[in-house]
Structure 1
Amino acid sequence: QIIRHLEAGGQLLRSEIYSHEYPFHDRCGNPLIYFATPSWFIRTSEMREQLVAANKDITWAPPEVGSGRFGNWLAGAIDWSLSRNRFWGTPLNIWICDVCGGQAVPTCRADLSEWTGRDLSELDLHRPHVDVITFGCRCEGCNGTMARTPEVIDCWFDSGSMPFAQYHYPFENKELFESQFPADFISEGIDQTRGWFYTMLVISTFLTGRSSYKSCLVNELVLDKKGKKMSKSVGNTVDPMQIMREVGADPLRWYMVTCSPVWTPTRFDLEGVTEAQRKLLATLENTYNFYTLYANLDGFVPGMDGESAPDQLDRWILGRLQSVTGQVRRDLEDLHLTRAAKAIGEFVSDDVSNWYVRLSRRRFWKGEMTPDKRSAFTTLHTVLETSLRLLAPFIPFTAEELYRGLMGCTGMTDSVHLQDFPAVDPGLIDADLEKDMATAQAVVGVGRSLRQESSLKTRQPLGLLLVHSDDDRVRRMMADERLTGYVCEELNVKRVGTVDDPREVALLTAKANFRALGPRFGKQAPLAAKAITGMDPGKIMDLRRDGRVELEVGGKAEAFTFEEIQVVEEGVPPYVAGAAAGLTVALDTTLNEDLVQEGLCREIVNKVQNLRKKSGLEVSDRIRLAITGPQAVMAAVERHAGRITGDTLAESVAADGELAYKETFEIEGMEIGIALERV
């Protein structure tokens, strides 16, 4: 028609037939063709300013979706093509006269009943039933017949109407609707910037002048582990039901929320799900099992009468729990789920399991219920109970099972999901103690790495650990015998001391961080790196003390920080040294006969405990114990008999004996026989 029109007007310069590409349907494979068709529109272009203004009141996570992708879409909003030429869907409620072209828009069955003169209160308002409804033209003086236009409404209009349609508003439930409008939170995929997010905002802005939701969390796609889009035809899809059957729903949930922020594409790796099971859920369950085992042995019930004596560790972990609770609440309010989940996970793993429980074990092992032991039980119960409430939104099934088991002895049978989410008690927070304990944990972390690098087992005692720091608080902390006692216990060293100059125990060198230098210095990055690697020990000490240092690059003074410079510390024999968080940590690796004997004793205790477990003994069972081996072994056993009997619940240690369970072990190249039986 266009060609004929141009030709008739003498305006056609050229006409030809040419080929071009059309797509195929991505699922069924049928060929598709684009062509223009008449449509009904909503004039959204006239509301751009109102839509942009309403969007500014929404909290987006991440913010750049609201200000960028979605905001740009609103700023260029075009009229909404509302109608679809399909059978299924909500029929477009517009009736058109066959004579004058007039239009009528019924709002309910009552309108249709009135206009047709028939009772249509039971009419199914879908095709084909509604298509046969006709009535006389509503226009004055016209005798035509009105029939429904054949189109249905865009299904996204249905979705966008959800806030109103769910309560049949404004026809019913006005107070209920207004009490819940706008919604606090919605969440969907990034593709919904042109779908649900958009249609809800448009309809709500048309009707109320504001958004129907206050905040929106946007999630990206889940890709395969190579970063490719999952597709059944490619064969790289993952069956979530199979994963849940094999590993469980909670490990999958925990992996998905912690591996990366939900608004970034997730490269799915099944090994990560298994790691999530091991790192958090197994640790949480082991801590729960530790508590319930000893609580049941001692008959401990939370709230039981009796004096408690909270020690420094109790005060620290309870304060740390409050700090983590505050962080989690802030992160959840900011819609940063990954940060919140990681904070809880690190607390359970690093602070509770690998620090508090490890350092408190002997308190639970005591025979009688002392105030100190009661405080340990009370503290760990509080930590577990609160942690499970924090974790409930992330791992609902595990949290429910453990919570019911934990609270069963108190008579509470309600679900964890019916409890209040934890609130912060600022009075329990001791910021200075948290910093000091974090320093102790950092020292232990470096010390463990040094042991591993030097092939020194943790069960082998060492004589001395030295720490250097330019921070006055750290130096004061290192003078606290209780805090350094934790370091001694965790690293198995006899004494912790300080050193005024790290160069007494380590050689200091500097390495360049090219990732930071490149964007800053460009082609001069090699010159900057050369200046860094050429730093003398004095300059390195300046950097450690001040956090910055000036170096000459290309004839110009430039300031550098730890972001661009990595300080490497190599121990001066007999020390091995390392650094972290502004600390220099050095271990004296010298071993004398006393240390070797004690290390041998600790290895023997470990083997006895393994044999106890293998023999099916309860942790509370007392035993008879016999140990045989070379003279070096027997000398160590004789010297440390008290420790061996105390740690293994043995009545005594004999040099031989025919006991029920016997096994031979090899320790440091020596063959050792261990036999035991229940008393």
Structure 2
Amino acid sequence: IWFGHRIPVWYRGNETYCGIEAPSGDGWQQDPDSLDTWFSSGLWTFSTLGWPDESAPDFRAYHPTALLETGYDILFPWVARMILMSGFLLDEIPFRTVYLHGLVRDEQGRKMSKSLGNTVNPLDVAEQYGADALRLALIVGSTPGNDVRVGDEKFIAMRNFVNKLWNIGRYLSVSIPKEKIQSLWGNPLANKTTLSDADQWILFKLHKITSQITNQLNSYNLSLSAELLRDFSWNEFADWYIEVHKIEKNDEVLLHVYNTLLALWHPFMPFVTESIYSSIRNDSKKLLMAHDWPTRGYSDSITTATGAQRFNTVVELVTRIRNIRAIYHIDPKEALSLMIVGDESAIAPLVPIIERLGRVSEVLVTDASSARPSASASIVAGALHAFVHLGDVIDVAAEKVRLEKEMTELGRYISGLKARLADTSIIERAPEHIIAGQRQSLSSAEAKLVTLNQSVQELSI
């Protein structure tokens, strides 16, 4: 049936015959046309499984199925016909859930067509960017029933993330001896009895993201799952924990987290994760696709919420230090001096991490009785209060002038925004999304003005 089912109707003179088998006798001519494609497609759920032999192994194992995924534009032509065909011939519904995706459009939101020349050949995309990058581009940002835009910009972004996951695997392979990887791979934390604050922090984050991804996938929220997982992989794991591993060298935790991430990513990017998995394990016969879905994999006795909270404070502290560099235009290579008010015994183990991640050359831990350093920026992170010395890295007087000038310009911008938003003639004519954007710009500008004012005040102390 290359061109569909031929219409089972025969003609002979004024006679018409309809049936499954051809009529007997001479002179009959079968109708040359075929039934529309949806007639053949409507039989798909069972005709491919051995039907009409209902005892066929595939038919008994896979019909009815759990989920059908298709586009909303063929809900009636295909989905409804499959339900009708299965109900009529088998007296059962062929699937329990239908997941309707949107249409794939180009970067400008136009429907793809040959006349516009904006069609995307998936084979070409897979060749240029990789099949997994193509898969991610189609999943990320695609919610049920809504159209998704794709193009080179999105393909490049997804390829870059796939490369990031691959490079983490290369770092792991270079940093940990092969023999140790093989001995720990199955359950790296099985014999682990103590963890650093950073280890506890990443394990708490991993447990949370695993639960979130499991719940979201069970609810068919594929895009949200991929976005949550990408954020964890790139930010918490790559930007924070791997940098900590370069100091603490806790190979067991690194292996556990990465192994779990490969399993979580496998439904989204099966080719790269399978390749990384077999490469690190050095065993091509062990497939990631046969791996159990991730569970916690460690004992509660080696983790505490306190340890995770302490490292979360370090993350806040280092983030604030980086923000200060941006506010005062301090070169990222410039080493800073930091004073922290707090318990020295609790802070001391974290100092090497603060120095490395914050590019700090000196950390002084003192009690609350110490005076605040002059020309310093104040930081509050969790229970910590810290001060970044600025006098040695910036021209304080010149910086105050620059900040005050920026405040003046920002003040004029805010006044202009307020005037436009107070003009009823503009509010009544402008589209709602334009007004909402203007209000968001005003809110952001006012928040920045507060920050600039605080920075000027700190330089004056």
Which residue number in structure 2 is paired with residue 419 of structure 1?
A: 291
Counterparts of 1:81-480 in structure 2, within 5 Å, are 88-93=3-8, 105-106=19-20, 112=21, 133-135=22-24, 152-173=34-55, 176-208=58-90, 210-261=92-143, 263-278=145-160, 280-296=161-177, 301-303=182-184, 309-364=194-249, 376-408=250-282, 413-424=285-296, 437-438=311-312, 440-464=314-338
Would you say the 8 A contact 1:134–1:148 is kept in 2?
Answer: no
Query: Normalised by the size of structure 2, how large is the TM-score?
Result: 0.69
Which one has the bigger helix percentage? 2
SS in 2 for 1:387: helix
- Judge conservation of contact 1:156–1:195 (CA < 8 Å) in 2: yes
1:260 deviates by 4.1
CA shift digits 1:356-404 (9 cap, x unpaired): 111221233xxxxxxxxxxx11111111112111112222221122111
Q: Describe the shift of the 1:134–1:412 C-alpha distance in structure 2 as closer, same or farther (beyond 3 A).
A: closer
- 1:512-534 deviation per Cα after TM superposition (whole angstroms, max 9, x unaligned): 9x9xxx9xx996998xxxxxxxx
SS in 2 for 1:458: coil
Aligned to 2:375: none
| CA distance, structure 1, for counterparts of residue 307 and residue 89 of structure 2 | 55
Provide the C-alpha distance between the structure 2 equivalents of 1:194 and 1:270, rounded to a whole number of angstroms: 33
Which residue of structure 1 lines up, in the alignment, with residue 392 of structure 2?
none
Distance of 1:399 and 1:175 partners within structure 2: 32
CA contact (8 A) 1:219 1:263 kept: yes
1:183, 1:390 → 2: CA distance?
A: 24
- Return the alpha-carbon distance in structure 2 between the equivalents of residues 453 and 243 of structure 1: 41
Aligned residues of 1:187 and 1:218 also touching (Cα < 8 A): yes
My pick for the range that moved more, 321-330 or 350-359, is 321-330
TM superposition shift of 1:448: 2.0
- Amino acid across the alignment from 2:169: Y
What's 2:398 paired with? Answer: none
Q: Quick one: which amino acid aligns to residue 93 of structure 1?
A: P
* Distance change >3 Å, CA 443–CA 267, structure 1 → 2: farther
The offset of 1:419, in angstroms, is 2.1
SS at structure 2 position matched to 1:459: coil
Taking a change above 3 Å as real, the CA distance of residues 572 and 150 of structure 1, as seen in their structure-2 partners, is: closer
| Correspondence for 1:653 | none
Letter in 2 for 1:135: S
Alignment of 1:496-575 (within 5 A): 498=380, 567-568=447-448, 569-571=450-452, 575=455
Aligned counterparts of 1:465 and 1:270: Cα–Cα separation in 2 = 47
Residue pair 1:185, 1:215 contacting (<8 A) in 2 also: yes
Q: How big is each residue's C-alpha offset from its partner over 1:244-269, in whole Å with a ceiling of 9 and x where there is no partner? A: 33332222222332244364322223
The answer (yes or no) to whether the contact 2:213–2:229 under 8 Å persists in 1 is yes
Residue 377 to residue 159, structure 1, CA distance change in 2 (3 Å): same
The 1:398/1:104 distance shift into structure 2, 3 A limit, reads closer
**1:492 equivalenced with 2:359 (yes/no):** yes
Q: Distance in 2 between matches of 1:378 and 1:426?
A: 11
- Equivalent residues in 2 for 1:632-651, closer than 5 Å: none
Cα drift, residue 187 of structure 1? 1.5
Letter in 1 for 2:285: T
Distance change (3 Å), C-alpha of 1:167 and 1:290 = closer
Please say if residues 458 and 491 of structure 1, whose CA atoms lie closer than 8 Å, have aligned partners that are also in contact.
Answer: no
Structure-1 separation of matches of 2:134 and 2:2:
40
Name the stretch that deviates more: 434-443 or 163-172.
434-443
CA contact under 8 A between 1:319 and 1:430: conserved in structure 2? Answer: no
CA offsets, 1:621-674, max 9 Å, x none?
xxxxxxxxxxxxxxxxxxxxxxxxxxxxxxxxxxxxxxxxxxxxxxxxxxxxxx
Shift, 1:482, TM fit: 5.7
Judge conservation of contact 1:407–1:413 (CA < 8 Å) in 2: no
CA contact (8 A) 2:66 2:95 kept: yes
In structure 2, distance between residues paired with 1:491 and 1:327: 30
Structure 1 residue 158: deviation in Å? 1.3
SS of the counterpart of 1:330?
helix
Q: Is the 8 A contact 2:198 2:311 kept in 1?
A: no
- Quick one: percent identity of the two aligned structures? 21
Letter in 2 for 1:91: R
Task: Tell me if the contact between 2:101 and 2:142 (Cα under 8 Å) persists in the aligned partners.
Answer: no
Which residue matches 1:75? none
Structure 1 residue 347: Cα displacement: 1.6
Task: For 1:296, give the aligned amino acid.
Answer: P
Structure 1 residue runs without a partner (length 5+): 1-85, 107-111, 113-132, 137-143, 365-375, 468-474, 527-561, 578-585, 591-679
Amino acid at match of 1:449: N
DSSP-derived class of the 2:49 partner: coil
1:61-117 CA distance string (max 9 Å, x none): xxxxxxxxxxxxxxxxxxxxxxxxx9943133356897887x6634xxxxx4xxxxx
3-state SS in 1 of match to 2:183:
coil
User: Matched residues in 2 for 1:204 and 1:481: separation?
Assistant: 69
AA of the residue aligned to 2:168: T
Superposed CA RMSD in Å reads 4.6
Measure how far apart 1:572 and its partner are: 5.2
In structure 2, distance between residues paired with 1:589 and 1:287: 45
* 8 Å contact kept, 2:64–2:94: yes
What residue number does 1:128 align with?
Answer: none
After TM superposition, list the pairs within 5 Å mapping 1:35-46 onto structure 2. none
Q: How far apart in 1 are the matches of 2:265 and 2:4?
A: 41
Q: Which has the higher contact order (CA 8 A, sep 6+)?
A: 2
SS of residue matched to 1:229: coil
Shift of 1:349: 0.9
Paired AA for residue 161 in structure 1? L
Q: Deviations over 1:265-298 (max 9, x none)?
A: 22223122222222x2232222212211121388
Deviation at 1:167, TM superposition (A): 2.6
Residue type at the aligned position of 1:491: G
Structure 2 unmatched ranges of 5 or more: 366-378, 389-402, 428-439
Structure 1 pair 149–341 and aligned structure 2 pair: CA distance change class (3 A): same
Q: Do the aligned residues in 1 keep the contact of 2:201 with 2:309 (CA within 8 Å)?
A: no
Q: Is this contact kept in 2: 1:250–1:395, CA < 8 A?
A: yes
